[in-house]
Amino acid sequence: MSPPLWWQGAEDPVPGGVSRGSAMDRLKLSRIDEELESSEVASLCFLCRDVVNRKRLEGITDAKQLFLRLEEKGLLENDLFLIQLLQTIRRTDLLSLLETDSSPPAEADANPVLSEYRVMLYKVYEDMTQENLEKMKFLLSKMLVKRQIETSNTALDVFAEMEKNSLLSNTNLEELHKVLLEMDRQLASTLQRYMDGLARQPQTRGPHVSMDYQTGNSTPQPPAAHNVPISETQPSSGGMIVCSDAGEKTDPSPLPDHEGYYALTHKPRGLCVVINNEYFPGTALKSRRGTQEDEKALRRVFTDLGFTVSVHNNLTAKDMRQELQTLGARSFLDEDALVVCVLSHGDMGCVFGVDDQKVSIQDLKQPFTSRRAPTLAGKPKLFFIQACQGKSYQGGSMPCPPRPREEPVDEQSRLEEDAGPLIGETVPWEADFLLGMATVPQCKSFRYTSTGSIYIQELCTQLMRSAESLKTDDILSVLTRVNNEVSKGEYANYKQMPEPKYTLTKKLVLTRVDPDDVILDEQGLKLVLLSESKDPPVYRLMSGKQTHEEQLKLREKQKAKVGMWR
């Protein structure tokens, strides 16, 4: 099939060697162009204002013209930047058109990343009503000329005019903040959260990238000071931002968003997904009695730690892969971390679906690499696996003097093993992953049929102990204590030794969400405060799924400042 006509007229490679995409790549882009509405194209152009000369964006009316501009900048050499754009405008349905071949992706630190400044403005635009827009234009009428006001049909148009008049930039947000406070405090809180993060996260200025900004009426933007976190380097509007590699501070800080720590500033902190496989009908694998206690403990602990908890029960191997692939395709711009807990039978390097089919650890992690989920780049991704990793039992040498058994003898008969019949594959490692395994390779793990698994129960205990402590123990210190406590026990005359593996690049400290920010509604559903402004308060359901009726009910309560929510 020949390339679409609009590609055949494209210019030759620009000086510097940026190559034109293949015919197949262009066919994919042509299909995406056909699916995008004109308003969505305008949104994409706004998001690209930091990476494409603004004069080159003028007059663009369809996506194919924008794709040519991005190609000139070398931004279509892989799919990463386009994936970020589509996720930001909520068109993840188009990601299926970007299925790539087997060639390895480019290095993560070579990929462009949308600045959080530009994404934040887009979020304000998304939440703005027509009434808000008219009020904003009225409030800005003394600062912008009449023509600029009249030609602005959306909030994005207004933001662009403010940038042209030096009223708005990634480090100059005061005027916009004043306007938003006058018209809608919820919109102002979105901007305030960005400003708070800007003040907390110092960056080091790096070498400039060649960017041909317009030198006429437009004012060049300084480098974005607060971008989506990513390991090593990330492009911005004026150059390359280099994340500091400085050593730890001498005095421990209780705040996990200081330099050297992963930032946890969003509410909720992130998403916790629990896959709980209990029944394995028609297979040789036994039902995993007691696993519901693990699910309850994980839900309780991670809810208290500020995560939205989602539980999936009794999934086949295919369903497990599909659920995680769907999850990886969503946007994580409003979340700081991801936690995935898998409770099932397993063997070396794999876990089992309820159909007795294996899912490798690699398959569990793959949807969340920086290549597949760019909005998770530079953010911690925690995987906790309660499953056997082989058929062998863990032995141990008795200390001197001997330590008494910590488990009553009559409990041993109610210990079970999470083992399966197959052998899987080894685990690959990418940046910012932590993998907490219930046991070392080739060995079994144990679970009480009444109180849950040894590993998960101890993990939850130590997480809460750390979260409530005055110390700032990071996740690796917590897992070391888990290792210590589990290794002390003796289970059916055998031992168990958990094994954490990680490629984290910073320290991660998990703390409880401020109790003032968590409330219960009349039905006992736990809600977390989203808006920094409490007039009116804005809350989100922390666990479970909301129906449309529940969402409408929650919105009405938000508007009505219900006193019982306190």
**3-state SS assignment for residue 484:** helix
**How many CA atoms does the CB half-sphere of 90 hold within 13 Å?**
4
Nearest to 184 by CA among 137, 138, 144, 135: 135
Is 388 annotated as catalytic?
yes
Per the CB < 8 A criterion, the answer to whether 494 and 394 are in contact is yes
Is 226 annotated as catalytic?
no
Of 345, 350, 443, 460, catalytic: 345
Q: Is the dihedral of CA 198, 199, 203, 209 positive or negative?
A: positive
The Cα 58–Cα 332 span in angstroms is 30
Q: What secondary structure letter does DSSP report for 518?
A: E
Q: How far is CA 212 from the centre of its chain?
A: 32
The Cα 156–Cα 469 span in angstroms is 45
Of 272, 341, 388, 443, catalytic: 388
**3-state SS assignment for residue 205:** strand
Per the CB < 8 A criterion, the answer to whether 445 and 507 are in contact is no
Radius of gyration of the chain (CA): 26
Bridge partner list, 169: 172
Per the CB < 8 A criterion, the answer to whether 444 and 390 are in contact is yes
Q: Residue 510: how many CB atoms within 10 A of its CB?
A: 26
The Cα 146–Cα 150 span in angstroms is 6
| Type and span of the H or E element at 447 | strand 446-448
The Cα 413–Cα 420 span in angstroms is 20
Per the CB < 8 A criterion, the answer to whether 345 and 418 are in contact is yes
Order across the sheet with 204-205: list the strands. Answer: 204-205, 240-242, 233-235
Q: Kindly give, in sequence order, each residue whose CB lies less than 8 Å from that of residue 38, ignoring residues fewer than 6 positions away.
A: 61, 62
> Catalytic positions, please?
345, 388
